[in-house]
Amino acid sequence: MMDRLKQMNPVFLVLLLLFVAIAILSPYFLQPTGYMNFLKRAAPIAILAVGQLYVINSGGFDLSAGALVTLTVIGSSILLDGEASATWWVILAMLGVGVTVGTVNALVVSWLRVPSIIATLGMMITLSGIALTWSGGAPRGYLPENFRFFGRFLIKDLPLIKILPVAVIVMIVVCALLWWLMHRTNYGKRLIAMGDNPKAALLAGVPLTQTRIVAFAMSSISAVIAGILLGGFAGVSTDVGVGLELQAITAAVIGGAQLLGGRGTVGATIAGALVLQAMFTLLNILGFPKPVRDVVQGLILISAVVIAGYRRRRSGG
Amino acid sequence: MSGEIVFEMKAITKVFPGIKALDRVSFTARAGEVHALAGENGAGKSTLMKVLSGVYQAEEGAIFLRGKQVAFYHPLESLAQGVSVIYQEFSLLPDRTVAQNIFLGREPVRRWGFLDAERMRRETQKVLALFGDRHRFGPDTLVGDLDVAQQQMVEIAKALSLNAKVIVMDEPTAALNDTECELLFQLVDDLRGQGRSIVYITHRMREIRRLADRVTVIKDGKVTASFDEVPETSRIIEAMVGRDIGHFYPEPAAKDDIGAAVLTVRGGGNSRLFDIDLDLHAGQITGFAGVQGAGRTALALALFGAEPFETGEVSVEGRRVTLTNPRQAAQAGIAMLPGDRKAEGLVLMQSVRDNGMLSVRAFSRALGHPDKSPIATLDQMDKAFDAFDLRAASYEVEIQSLSGGNQQKAIVARWLSLDPKLLIFVEPTRGIDVNTKAGIYAQMRKLAQNGAAVMAISSDLPEVLGISDRVLVMSDGKIVAEFGHGASEAEVMHAATEAHLGLEAS
Amino acid sequence: MKFQRPRNLTGLAPFLLLLVAVAIYVGVAVATGQTQYLTAENLLGLLGRSIALGITAVGQTFAILIASIDLSVANLISVAAVLGSSIMSGDPSMMLPAIVAVLAVGVVVGLINGLIITQFEVNPLIATLGMALVLQGLLSAAFNNFAGEVPEEFQVFAYGQVGGVSISLIFLIGLTVAAWVFLRFTRAGSKIYSVGGNPDAAKLAGMRTTRVVILAHVICSVCATIAGLYLASRLRSGAPWIGRDGVYDLESIAVVVIGGTALSGGRGGVWGTLMGVMIFSLIDSIFNLAGVDAFAKQILRGVIIVAAVAIYAMRSRRIEA
């Protein structure tokens, strides 16, 4: 029993402690509207973090995710400009953009051998450039109700939980699919093996380029989905995605994912995203100004890596 | 010929976890002589020299330098006393100049920490002058622009600039071609002429004949012979290998067991291989012998598509195949068990099961369940592990916690699940203790008996001879000789080095 | 380690890229009939527009040479700008204390970065990213608008001229020369190359590699704070968004890499970095001449960064193999 406890990922314990702290400080959090609101806010970052985990497990980084969120919001609002009937094909088009962006990232890494951090950095600059050019620097157009439905609609009058935001359903569905792909398919096992030791994976027959393309595409698709949610509840702005890629990496690292690949689970990454969001909520309740979030995020990012390294060395791994 | 004793190592014993690497080894070196330290891979040659330089500390025994007992705890300390070791892995910086490399970490400075570049260049010139005009590079040449032989000269120059009295060279010709070798030999002659003491580590007979004044042979961590002058080659080889290998290896295949050719290569070649004609038969273990750099590993990599053939054709069971990447090779029924398990075989952070299942998963439907592949299920993999007597606390533990032998079993299980027609074993028992070796040999034989063609590449010659039904000898990228089971080590080694001996005579 | 290096070109590549950029610049100027921009003075002036990037990139070169990286420079620039400007508060007598305080902050941040990387073995990307977030948070907690005021005496740094050449340009070139002399002619400089190129060989040769890593990070951070002081001088006050808006973290890395310094460490130098800065300024100017939209510029910039790194990565393929 003690052994199992020791082996358990500490992120779950941290999350529990944070929830308890928040609940004590703000009983509102125990109401369905309280925790559902919390989950709704956490949904985009959780989705982004799990997408990012695909790239991290493959041994890379995806810094272009935040810019892709912005592009999704800006692009959708310009394309739609309130035209509700176009919502579905715009969403499809945006997912297509996501697949393209991910594929380009992966091919630049695989074929041109550019380190993923530089490749996705270039993509990030390019995507924000496209978003700015397209919009002319200020948000234009607006998103119709049926597009904002995903981010903002609440299903009401449910038994037990009373309300259920659509964003939470989206989060659960997307994360479940990504959990399945990572942990219950051959693809996921190939991905993790490739991040662990690309040479051994290659010599065992794993198709590296194909595996990498899917990993980057998953990250980009999750960015598009996060963008659709954020467009729904935060509205259109040109800085909606700024810094989200770092939050996603931070969440994955808090969840114990190993940078440069080979170790990291979807469940722990979701927990990491919730820890990050809970930390922000707690700081808010305690009345700290918003900027303190950054300081805390920076400190936990470093500490998570230090602690993970320490645990690994101690266990002799 | 021989001058005063420069250093003396007495009854050195060095123990690593689970293995006695050196057992009461004594070694003496005199000024103005080349003392060859011979032995097979893993005999303990390099370990002995690492004890001398202070990389390792011996458990027992003593080292005397010019009559005074010394103990080194860091290579810097032995360097300061005039002992330089040139390892096979050079410690050079490719983007720095020759002079900067030679003075790495001890750059002469003037005031304010400014480099005395003039002095560095001057002293480098002076050292390089010792090479006559053979080096063809100057103090300001970038090391990355030099070829391997020249890089080695930089390492030697580094030793000379420290005014090393003892220079240890660890298999210095491993990556050199014949012309470069001859150049190196001349340099060694010069160094001897200057009254320095050279310890020359090698397992190549022709180098011993060409250079050595004295020879000490070690095997399995013990000195098996020490000659004050170079004896007949056969006596050195005997001391290097003479062990009882009888019961260690499984019985060879009977004639009837050997089936049709599984893999055929005609005229295969690339930058490291030439005119390879090869037939590998079902039921037969074919061993490949040859010195380092002879092309054995290159052949394995070519067959596995990792460094493909550029010319010639390959067929598997009579069908032409293209082997340009490992995935194609695996699909054609070829499996390779890499020599460097950690770097090329294992996904270290994953479980034993994940390591075993890796190839199954690589060749199953991407979205299929990882444990229920039609190729092999996890249950079948577990049974394979059981059958191999793979010992682990649980099959869920990370594979890095297992011993080398058990790791090897997991990789064998990985490939067997694909039912390969040809298995290429590269250094199958490297880093595996003696007791486990027999089990791996038995397994290789069993694979052959079950109808696979097996290819065995190893730098451990007795191993190649013991396990193989047929031995092919490679040299300079070509297959130069073939022997049946029961060939003697002497004749194989002779064939492996014959090309060189011929050159030497001319 | 035995290596075969792709011959020649290595040092030349940034220079060739620069020539290409100049040629395109001239071509576009001629084609669009804007030949009045084709004076030597104007070309030098291009560099003058990128002083802050230049100073930061010279520092970043040190971090990258030891195979590390620093993502905290942009926010450190902002910290330096608002801190310097606040301490000065328009009072010339406070100039010296302000400069000393700001440089001290640079030293401390560099030390912390270096210590986290060497003592806790944290990946430099994460360590400096964490530092960037911490600085960003502290900054936005304390300031949300222009802070303090830079006295006229200090504005000389950005606007002063000596013999027709701007002081800031002279400073940048002086800094580059100093960095070059340090790297090329001192023992400490040699150590930076050695530790970056082959840490094992450096250790074997008896070097204390952790000190070298820390030193490089201190130099990098101090350079960033100097860039912050320059920007405060230029804007006549410190703005908390100045570093982020300039994307100095990513741009400094990009120009260092385009300047031929290897991300894997041990190869390159500050002159290449300066050429990288010029190439970036030229690209900007070319877009201006050609009337490319400001945002489209950014798109092309991203593509150019990746393309440049790809060229280097392809060329060094053989080393990896």
Residues of the domain holding B426: 260-333+422-506
Q: Write down all domains in chain A, each with its CATH number in brackets.
A: 36-308 (1.10.3470)
Out of A185, A204, A207, closest to residue B359 by CB: A204
Report yes or no on C162 lying in a domain: yes
> What pLDDT does A91 receive?
95
Q: Which of B419, B435, B469 is the last residue of a domain?
A: B419
> What pLDDT does B501 receive?
44
Q: Which residue of C has its CA nearest to A300?
A: C130
- C318 pLDDT tier (thresholds 50, 70, 90): very low
Question: Closest approach of chain C CAs to the CA of B445, in angstroms?
Answer: 34
Give percent of chain C with pLDDT exceeding 90: 45
Q: Which of B393, B419, B445 is the last residue of a domain?
A: B419
Q: Does B171 lie in the same domain as B89?
A: yes
- C6 pLDDT tier (thresholds 50, 70, 90): very low
pLDDT digits (tens, 9 = 90+) for C33-63: 887 777 777 777 777 778 999 999 999 999 9
> What pLDDT does B43 receive?
79
Amino acid at B23: D
- B506 pLDDT tier (thresholds 50, 70, 90): very low
Report yes or no on B312 lying in a domain: yes
Total domains, chain B:
3
Amino acid at B143: V
Report yes or no on B60 lying in a domain: yes
Residue B344 has pLDDT above 60, yes or no: yes
- B242 pLDDT tier (thresholds 50, 70, 90): low
Task: Tell me the three state secondary structure of residue B292.
Answer: coil
CA angle, C50 then C53 then C54, to 5°: 80
Average pLDDT value for residue range C83-98: 93
| Higher pLDDT among residues B179 and A192, named by residue | A192
Report yes or no on B248 lying in a domain: no
Average pLDDT value for residue range C66-85: 94
> What pLDDT does C4 receive?
41
CB contact under 8 A, B145 and C7: yes
Report yes or no on B338 lying in a domain: no
Interatomic CA distance for residues A272 and A267, integer angstroms: 9
- A315 pLDDT tier (thresholds 50, 70, 90): low
Residues of the domain holding C73: 52-271
> What pLDDT does A181 receive?
97
Report yes or no on B112 lying in a domain: yes
Average pLDDT value for residue range C307-311: 78
Question: Closest approach of chain B CAs to the CA of C2, in angstroms?
Answer: 7
Count how many pairs of residues, chain B against chain C, have C-beta atoms within 8 Å: 75
The answer to whether B120 and B104 are in contact (CB under 8 A) is no
Amino acid at B372: K
CB proximity B370 to A under 8 Å = yes
Q: How is residue B341 annotated by DSSP?
A: I
Characterize the bridge pairing of strands B83-86 and B33-38: unpaired
Report yes or no on B457 lying in a domain: yes
Out of C186, C201, C319, closest to residue B93 by CB: C201
Chain C residue numbers touching A129 (CB-CB < 8 A): 295-302
CB contact under 8 A, C122 and A306: yes
Least confident of A164-173, A301-310, B408-417: A301-310
Characterize the bridge pairing of strands B166-170 and B197-202: parallel
Report yes or no on C5 lying in a domain: no
| Higher pLDDT among residues B85 and C7, named by residue | B85
Interatomic CA distance for residues B58 and B55, integer angstroms: 10
Quick one: tokens of A16?
A: 């529990």
Report yes or no on C313 lying in a domain: no
Interatomic CA distance for residues C235 and C223, integer angstroms: 18
Question: Closest approach of chain B CAs to the CA of A137, in angstroms?
Answer: 42
- A2 pLDDT tier (thresholds 50, 70, 90): low
Residue C180 has pLDDT above 90, yes or no: yes
Cα distances (Å, whole numbers) of residue C66 to A315, B95, C147, C211: 30, 13, 35, 11
- CA B391 to chain CA centroid, Å, is 28
- C319 pLDDT tier (thresholds 50, 70, 90): very low
Least confident of A37-51, A135-149, B486-500: B486-500
Interatomic CA distance for residues B501 and B488, integer angstroms: 19
Element (H, E) at A215: helix A208-234
Q: Residue with structure tokens 């290097």?
A: B240
Interatomic CA distance for residues B60 and A166, integer angstroms: 73
Report yes or no on B298 lying in a domain: yes
Quick one: tokens of B441?
A: 């040999």
Q: Residue B470's domain is classified under what CATH number?
A: 3.40.50.300
pLDDT digits (tens, 9 = 90+) for C219-251: 999 999 999 999 999 999 888 888 888 888 888
> What pLDDT does A211 receive?
97
Across chain A, what does the average pLDDT equal? 90
> What pLDDT does A1 receive?
54
Q: Does B312 lie in the same domain as B367?
A: no
pLDDT digits (tens, 9 = 90+) for B355-381: 999 999 999 999 999 999 999 999 999
Dihedral sign computed on CA atoms, order C309, C314, C316, C321:
positive
Residue A184 has pLDDT above 50, yes or no: yes
Residues ≥6 apart with Cβ < 8 Å to B158: B84, B101, B102, B104
Residue C12 has pLDDT above 80, yes or no: no
CB contact under 8 A, A291 and C137: yes
Report yes or no on B250 lying in a domain: no
Give this complex's ipTM. Answer: 0.88
> What pLDDT does A275 receive?
95
> What pLDDT does B247 receive?
55
Report yes or no on C262 lying in a domain: yes
Across chain C, what does the average pLDDT equal? 86
| Higher pLDDT among residues A238 and B435, named by residue | A238
Characterize the bridge pairing of strands B261-270 and B273-281: antiparallel
**Which of C3, C65, C182 has the highest number of chain B CBs within 10 A, making it the mutation to test binding with B?**
C3
pLDDT digits (tens, 9 = 90+) for B378-397: 999 999 999 888 888 899 99
Report yes or no on C278 lying in a domain: no
Residue C3 has pLDDT above 60, yes or no: no
Report yes or no on C287 lying in a domain: no
Neighbours of chain A (3+ CB pairs under 8 A): B, C
Q: Does B226 lie in the same domain as B97?
A: yes
Report yes or no on C11 lying in a domain: no
Least confident of B317-321, C72-76, C295-299: C295-299
CB contact under 8 A, C207 and B95: no
Residues of A with CB under 8 A from a CB of B: 181, 184-190, 192-193, 196-197, 199-207, 214, 258, 262-263, 317
Residue B431 has pLDDT above 80, yes or no: no
Q: Does B272 lie in the same domain as B383?
A: no
pLDDT digits (tens, 9 = 90+) for C107-143: 999 999 999 999 988 889 889 989 999 999 898 888 8
Interatomic CA distance for residues B299 and B457, integer angstroms: 10
Q: Does B408 lie in the same domain as B276?
A: no
- C316 pLDDT tier (thresholds 50, 70, 90): low
- B1 pLDDT tier (thresholds 50, 70, 90): very low
Count how many pairs of residues, chain A against chain B, have C-beta atoms within 8 Å: 96
Q: Does B97 lie in the same domain as B229?
A: yes
| Higher pLDDT among residues A1 and B355, named by residue | B355
> What does pTM read for this prediction?
0.83
CB contact under 8 A, B343 and A202: no
Chain B residue numbers touching C186 (CB-CB < 8 A): 109, 112-115
Task: Tell me the three state secondary structure of residue C246.
Answer: coil
> What pLDDT does B460 receive?
77
Chain C residue numbers touching A117 (CB-CB < 8 A): 125
Total domains, chain C:
1
Interatomic CA distance for residues C143 and C247, integer angstroms: 19
Residues ≥6 apart with Cβ < 8 Å to B446: none
Q: Torsion angle of alpha carbons B277, B282, B285, B289, nearest 10°?
A: 10
Across chain B, what does the average pLDDT equal? 87
pLDDT digits (tens, 9 = 90+) for B179-224: 778 888 988 998 899 899 999 998 777 789 889 999 999 988 889 8
> What pLDDT does B246 receive?
47
Residue C28 has pLDDT above 60, yes or no: yes
> What pLDDT does B433 receive?
64
- C7 pLDDT tier (thresholds 50, 70, 90): very low
CB contact under 8 A, B358 and A207: no
pLDDT digits (tens, 9 = 90+) for B97-114: 999 999 988 888 888 888
Average pLDDT value for residue range B334-343: 89
Report yes or no on C317 lying in a domain: no
Q: Does B505 lie in the same domain as B468?
A: yes
Question: Closest approach of chain A CAs to the CA of B327, in angstroms?
Answer: 4
Chain C residue numbers touching B144 (CB-CB < 8 A): 3, 5
Question: Closest approach of chain B CAs to the CA of C67, in angstroms?
Answer: 14
| Higher pLDDT among residues A198 and C257, named by residue | A198
**Which of B53, B76, B85, B95 has the highest number of chain C CBs within 10 A, making it the mutation to test binding with C?**
B95
pLDDT digits (tens, 9 = 90+) for C129-179: 899 999 998 988 888 788 888 898 999 998 888 888 889 999 999 999 999
Chain A residue numbers touching B349 (CB-CB < 8 A): 196, 258, 262-263, 317
CB contact under 8 A, C122 and A298: no
Which of A146-150, B131-135, B429-433 tops mean pLDDT?
A146-150
